[in-house]
Amino acid sequence: MSTGDTLQLYSYFRSSAAFRVRIALHAKGLAFDTIAIALLENKQGSAEYLALNPQGLVPALYAEGTVIPQSLAIIEYLEERYPQPPLLPHEPVARALVRSMALGVACDIHPLNNLRVLNYLREHIQLDKDSVAHWSQQWIATGFAALEKHVRLHSTAGRYCYGDALSIADVCLMPQMFNARRLKCDLTPYPTLTRICRHLETLSAFVLAAPENQPDAK
**DSSP notation for 115-140:** HHHHHHHHHTS---HHHHHHHHHHHH
Mean pLDDT calculated for residue range 28-38: 96
- Yes or no: say if 51 and 69 are a contact pair by the CB < 8 Å rule: no
The rounded percent of the chain whose pLDDT value lies above 90 is 81
* pLDDT at res. 2: 35
Sign of the CA dihedral with 116 first, then 99, 8, and 176 last: positive
Mean pLDDT calculated for residue range 18-34: 97
Mean pLDDT calculated for residue range 137-154: 95
Mean pLDDT calculated for residue range 62-83: 97
Q: At residue 198, does pLDDT exceed 80?
A: yes
Q: What type of residue is 65?
A: G
Q: At residue 3, does pLDDT exceed 50?
A: no
- In eight-state DSSP terms, residue 108 is I
- Closest Cα to residue 21, out of 72, 79, 64, 55? 72
Name the burial class of residue 18, with classes exposed (0-12), middle (13-18) and buried (19+) by CB atoms within 10 angstroms of its CB. buried
Q: At residue 4, does pLDDT exceed 60?
A: no
> pLDDT band for position 196 (50/70/90)?
very high
Q: At residue 89, does pLDDT exceed 50?
A: yes
18-32, 54-68, 117-131: the lowest-pLDDT one: 117-131
Q: At residue 149, does pLDDT exceed 70?
A: yes
31-35, 94-98, 132-136, 184-188: the lowest-pLDDT one: 132-136
Task: Encode 22-48 in three state secondary structure.
Answer: HHHHHHCCCCCEEEECCHHHCHHHCHH
Give backbone dihedrals phi and psi of 109, rounded to 5 degrees, phi first. -90, -60
C-alpha to C-alpha distance for 115 and 126, rounded to whole angstroms: 15
Torsion angle, CA of 10/12/17/21, rounded to 10 degrees?
Answer: 50
User: What pTM did the predictor assign?
Assistant: 0.92
Q: At residue 10, does pLDDT exceed 80?
A: yes
- Yes or no: say if 189 and 140 are a contact pair by the CB < 8 Å rule: no
